[in-house]
Structure 1
Amino acid sequence: MTSESLDNLKKAAAFRAVEFVRDGMVIGLGTGSTAKHLLAAIGEQVRAGRKVRGVPTSQETAALARESGIPLIDTEDRWEIDVAIDGADQVDPDFNLIKGGGGALLKEKIVAASAKHFIVMVDYTKQVSVLGGSFPLPIEVVPFGWGSTAREIEALTKGRVVLRNRNGVPFKTEAGHLIVDVHIDRIDRPGELETALNLIPGVVETGLFVGRTNTLIVGTPQGVHIFHVPRK
């Protein structure tokens, strides 16, 4: 399938996600290629008179939201987010996720955890039988002693840890941290791994989103499929 065809599936999933948006809602706005379609669709609703406010998960999303005319909440005090809508890099059969390919995993997880309802929208190629393998696990780490942190991550996961670079220099998150991408053949117990990784000094957050998805929207060549998963 071509990249244009996949993008159309992402767009279809995003447009179905907008159906969950109601007047007066505060919406967590995800980051990434599928989220761009979401922002455009919500922007159309705002221009048609819908009253919503957004909490962006990255500066890129904030800029796109403003371009689309979506009002944003400026304060970073305690939010009351009605629904957060975001994409994912992988989704397993239990609706656990790997996220962070775009480098916004920390803000994305904060917003997802703050939302009453978390909606994930993907194209069907993001569905996998087990997390890992074809996509590395991003982990956000503090710069100080990152090599030692990476060594502990490697010992725990038995995977290969690679410092993320952009244009030949280490990639920095908006919070000023680094990201290491961990290549693991398979993640059979994502919940246990998420907990263990977060106990390593220097780890800020992982790209494992375990037990957070309430609704999964999947764009496929046969149409858009929606799955509802009560949060445990």
Structure 2
Amino acid sequence: MTVTLITGANKGIGFETAKQLLELGHVVYIGARDAERGEKAAAALGARFVQLDVTDDASVKSALATIDSAEGRLDILVNNAGILADGVLDGPTALRAFDTNAVGIVRVTEAALPLLRKSSAPTVVTVSSSAGSFWAVTNPDRPEFNLPLALYSASKSAATMLTVQYAKSQPGIRFNAVEPGTTATDLTAAFGIGRTPEESARVVVRLATLDADGPTGTFQDENGEVPW
């Protein structure tokens, strides 16, 4: 059985990714900040729940310790938790954006590495965004060109770079970042745009279930590698 942890999985793309991986036979742990919502989501899917706040070191370590105790390894980590951080542009908002969208990846990945090394085919997928691609935001033909999300974009640039650097420093583990596509979730509700989380989750699932000889250190969407 493939053991998978998905952060921020009580709703949206994370929830749909959990659902699709469960259908493929994975043992899925739903990580969520809010215990009530996380437990409800896990119960609805038949998944397992771990309380996991990516901005809290103790919470992260406790979640991975729980998985270690129950499973003894982790095969797939999906760094999905993230916030939009729109609205006011100031120091506290910037710190919160980077703490969740970038530093949170470091916290969870570092805590997960010992368990991933026990897997025969360890894989890490980080849900990033082409809003963090210099190529996309400077291209008038791309929707990101007119997206006024400075902190989200900058923190997602960091998320993609972390993916590349982890791939270089951990050659035994596949690390890839994904642009799942503009999705209608709580994050994009204010813009009234996006396709279903189910469609976007398929892109995440594809990278999470790559063959052992699959790529690492890439940033991809449903059509392949994305310039950034």
Fold conserved (TM > 0.5)? no
Q: Which has the larger radius of gyration?
A: 1
**TM-score normalised over the length of structure 2:** 0.38
Larger strand percent: 1
Q: Which has the higher helix share?
A: 2
Larger relative contact order (CA 8 Å, sep ≥ 6) = 1
